[in-house]
């Protein structure tokens, strides 16, 4: 007997009536089996079939090749090498049907929806509302009016925290969030609690990053009005026990809001079965465009919530004396929505539904198991989080040799491999795990074992390169410190002024950077500058706190020059090589210079002049700005002291 769903098997199917062999009797139990030849088509099993079943212990390479053909970007290159895209937790790539749906709308049906009586507007309106019904079916919502289109998960959580929170929370109440949450499921609740006087309570994970529901039972009280939690941790991939969380909360008469951003593209979703009160996700993590997402909420809750924004389409009547509001879902969809995005979102939902979550889950879990095994071959690599129950996400650090996540990502990028590094908008979790950030490999069903192999080979190469560099540094340091005692006791090296003023130093440095037009060459120059810095990282880490806003660990101390107190000197170091290069730039510009001239120097303009503003990522630029802010704070203190 063939099981109701054929899971994780390789099938050879001959579709010819009358062929002797296995006849599938329980057709009512078998909804459909994926056709091998066309990614978007199915065939019905209503004829005798010759079926060979063999349990598969590896990924389905035919399936991977077939679906990859649907994603144009996967055929492109990065850094001159085939793209291996492992940043699906940040955003997924888009299949051709989704791209076509978006192009078709803007090419053939673009018009504003609702109220337009001409045919084009009616067509756009029909497609928009049909998309809502498709998404309602996709998530198991019984009432289509409970489905509200939003820009994404962040806007949805802000909507609930602002509209429901401010209307229902008071000083006597509590909101529980987990310690694994994305910032978008923390900050809006902080806003709501600050506005109402409610208390924000944190449900902390264990040392592996797992949530223990027994702890939730201990911290939840009759004051708890809302439990806000991810379905899947975006940083670690951990799948949370939503059914049990809902049970505990509802037994306490508390509501539950679920952030499903990392779930819906990988598993079937049924909000009715989950029993939660609010559920949200972002389209761009479901192979749909950016700027579109969904908030689902119980009708009885939504109807009692005041509108989140005011404007067109969310009103019933408007007068200067009073405004009345439209019914659901329009009440929460002020202004012109992302019509094309909603239509493309529905197309994306249809796309993954046609592939089948059974196949998607099997493929991604096989990828996860293979990647876990292969990554164990990388020297000094440590995976964070448990493997108890997780999606195809691996967060890791490299500790022996110690390589900063930022350097790892840059090295992989040169090999055409895209991963995400940093705190993943989970700074509290990173603090709990006692790391400044991690490297995150997040996979989708279109990834392959070959791509995993490329990832591991590149990491092994990086580890070997770092080991060699560390060995040379150790030999050099050993030769330089003979007879001078423990190097840990040596004084920090403060850089002397490189030129007479920051402007003069900037001109000299600009000559080097302006020799290169491409970001890669500028990066190489930064790395060379960083190699010239003294190694003060360990000593600085003992003396000061890390500079905030940096993807890597950065430590910086400054002081008035002992023999010229109107001048400022500083020492800084980082565990990331490229950031050490940025520190070298700051050191050449500012260390040993007059505090007043440092404050007058147009650093943002200088970055534009030498071309660093266009290639330093927003996150890395934030770290650079963090260092500049600390330098300015110390320089300001010197000028104020001089003026008193």
pLDDT tens for each residue of 588-613? 999 999 999 999 999 989 998 998 88
One domain, residues 440 and 521: no
Instruction: Count CA atoms closer than 13 A to 263's CA, side-chain side.
Output: 25
**What per-residue confidence (pLDDT) applies to 8?**
35
Report residues of the chain scoring pLDDT below 70. Answer: 1-58, 474-490, 615-622
Inter-residue contact 188 to 158 (CB < 8 Å)? yes
Final residue of a structural domain among 460, 478, 502: 460
One domain, residues 336 and 190: yes
**What per-residue confidence (pLDDT) applies to 478?**
56
Residue from 195, 599, 135 nearest 348 by CA:
135
Among all chains, which residue has been given the structure tokens 């972002």?
282
Strand-strand pairing, 323-325 and 315-318: antiparallel
**What per-residue confidence (pLDDT) applies to 352?**
98
- In a domain? residue 481: no
Residue from 631, 639, 564, 641 nearest 596 by CA:
639
- In a domain? residue 329: yes
> CATH number, domain at 370?
3.90.1150.10
**What per-residue confidence (pLDDT) applies to 615?**
62
503-520: pLDDT as tens digits: 999 999 999 999 998 888
Inter-residue contact 110 to 124 (CB < 8 Å)? yes
**Domain of residue 637, residue span:** 489-643
Q: Which helix (H) or strand (E) holds 384?
A: strand 381-384
The angle, 0 to 180 degrees and rounded to 10, between the axes of the packed helices 577-590 and 618-643 is 30
Cα 205 to its chain centre, rounded Å, is 19
> CATH number, domain at 610?
3.90.1010.10
Cα 580 from Cα 533, distance rounded (Å): 7
Residue 42 bridge partners (DSSP): 34
- In a domain? residue 133: yes
393-413: pLDDT as tens digits: 999 999 988 999 999 999 999
One domain, residues 300 and 435: no
One domain, residues 377 and 325: no
Cα 165 from Cα 169, distance rounded (Å): 5
- The tokens for 366 are 């096989």
> CATH number, domain at 104?
3.40.640.10
- Identify the DSSP state of 515: T
Cα 429 from Cα 182, distance rounded (Å): 9
Cα 74 from Cα 581, distance rounded (Å): 33
One domain, residues 372 and 453: yes
Cα 483 from Cα 461, distance rounded (Å): 36
- In a domain? residue 384: yes
pTM score of the predicted model: 0.85
Domain count, the chain: 4
Final residue of a structural domain among 353, 372, 404: 353
In angstroms, the Cα distances linking 405 to 435, 437, 442, 459, 577 are 11, 7, 15, 11, 10
- In a domain? residue 583: yes
Q: Report how far apart the first and last C-alpha atoms of the chain are (Å, whole number).
A: 90
Final residue of a structural domain among 460, 480, 497: 460
One domain, residues 348 and 391: no
One domain, residues 343 and 366: no
Tell me the residue length of the chain. 644
One domain, residues 314 and 381: no
- In a domain? residue 523: yes
- In a domain? residue 454: yes
One domain, residues 18 and 124: no
The answer, yes or no, to whether the previous bond of 329 is cis (omega within 30 of 0) is yes
- The tokens for 625 are 């700005």
- In a domain? residue 93: no
One domain, residues 396 and 517: no
**What per-residue confidence (pLDDT) applies to 486?**
42
- Would residue 503 show up in a list of annotated catalytic residues for this protein? no
One domain, residues 387 and 526: no
Q: Which of 147, 193, 425, 426 is catalytic?
A: 425
One domain, residues 336 and 396: no
């Amino acid at each position: 007997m063939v099981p109701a769903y054929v899971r994780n098997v390789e099938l050879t199917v001959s579709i010819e009536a009358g062929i002797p062999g296995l006849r599938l009797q329980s057709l009512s139990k078998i909804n459909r089996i994926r056709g091998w030849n066309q990614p978007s088509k199915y065939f019905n099993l209503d004829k005798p079939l010759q079926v060979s079943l063999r349990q598969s212990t590896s990924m389905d390479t035919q399936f991977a090749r077939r679906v990859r053909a649907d994603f144009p970007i996967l055929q492109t290159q990065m850094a001159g090498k085939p793209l291996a895209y492992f940043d699906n937790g940040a955003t997924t790539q888009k299949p051709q049907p989704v791209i076509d749906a978006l192009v078709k709308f803007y090419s053939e049906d673009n018009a504003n929806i609702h109220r337009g009586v001409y045919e084009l507007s009616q067509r756009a309106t029909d497609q928009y509302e049909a998309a809502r019904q498709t998404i309602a079916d996709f998530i198991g919502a019984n009432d289509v009016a409970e489905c509200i289109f939003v820009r994404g998960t962040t806007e949805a959580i802000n909507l609930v925290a602002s509209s429901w929170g401010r209307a229902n929370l008071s000083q006597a109440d509590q909101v529980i969030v987990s310690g694994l949450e994305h910032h978008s499921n923390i900050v809006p609740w902080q806003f709501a609690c600050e506005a109402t006087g409610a208390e924000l309570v944190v449900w902390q994970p264990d040392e592996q990053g797992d949530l223990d529901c027994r702890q939730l039972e201990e911290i939840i009280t009759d004051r708890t009005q809302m439990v806000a939690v991810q379905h899947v941790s975006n940083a670690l991939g951990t799948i949370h026990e939503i059914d049990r969380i809902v049970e505990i909360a509802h037994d306490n008469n508390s509501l539950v809001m679920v952030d499903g951003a990392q779930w819906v593209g990988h598993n079937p979703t049924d909000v009715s079965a989950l029993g939660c009160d609010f559920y949200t996700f972002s389209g761009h993590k479901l192979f749909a465009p950016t700027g579109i997402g969904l908030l689902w909420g119980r009708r009885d809750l939504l109807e009692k919530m005041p509108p989140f924004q005011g404007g067109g389409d969310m009103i019933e009547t408007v007068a200067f004396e009073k405004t009345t509001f439209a019914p659901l879902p329009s009440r929460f969809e002020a202004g012109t929505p992302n019509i094309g995005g909603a239509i493309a979102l529905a197309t994306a939902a249809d796309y993954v539904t046609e592939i089948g979550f059974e196949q998607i889950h099997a493929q991604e879990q096989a990828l996860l198991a293979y990647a876990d095994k292969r990554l164990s071959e990388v020297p000094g690599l440590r995976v964070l989080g448990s493997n108890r129950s997780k999606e195809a996400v691996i967060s890791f650090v490299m500790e022996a040799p110690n390589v900063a996540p930022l350097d790892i990502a840059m090295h992989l990028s040169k090999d055409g491999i895209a991963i995400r590094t940093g705190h993943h908008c989970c700074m509290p979790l990173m603090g709990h795990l006692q790391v400044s950030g991690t490297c995150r490999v997040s996979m989708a069903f279109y990834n392959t074992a070959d791509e995993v192999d490329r990832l591991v080979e590149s990491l092994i190469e990086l580890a070997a390169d770092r080991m060699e560099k560390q060995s040379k540094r150790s030999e050099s340091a050993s030769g330089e410190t003979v007879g001078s005692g423990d190097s840990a006791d040596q004084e920090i090296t403060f850089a002397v002024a490189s030129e007479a003023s920051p402007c003069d130093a900037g001109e000299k440095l600009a000559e080097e950077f302006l020799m290169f037009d491409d970001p890669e060459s500028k990066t190489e120059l930064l790395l060379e500058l960083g190699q010239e810095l003294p190694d003060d990282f360990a000593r600085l880490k003992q003396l000061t706190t890390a500079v905030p806003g940096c993807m890597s660990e950065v430590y910086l101390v400054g002081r008035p020059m002992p023999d010229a107190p109107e001048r400022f000197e500083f020492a800084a170091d980082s565990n990331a090589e490229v950031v050490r290069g940025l520190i070298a730039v700051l050191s050449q510009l500012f260390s040993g210079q007059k505090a007043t001239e440092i404050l007058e120097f147009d650093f943002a303009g200088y970055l534009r002049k030498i071309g660093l503003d266009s290639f330093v990522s927003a996150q890395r630029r934030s770290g650079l700005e963090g260092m500049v802010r600390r330098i300015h704070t110390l320089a300001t203190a010197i000028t104020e002291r001089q003026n008193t």
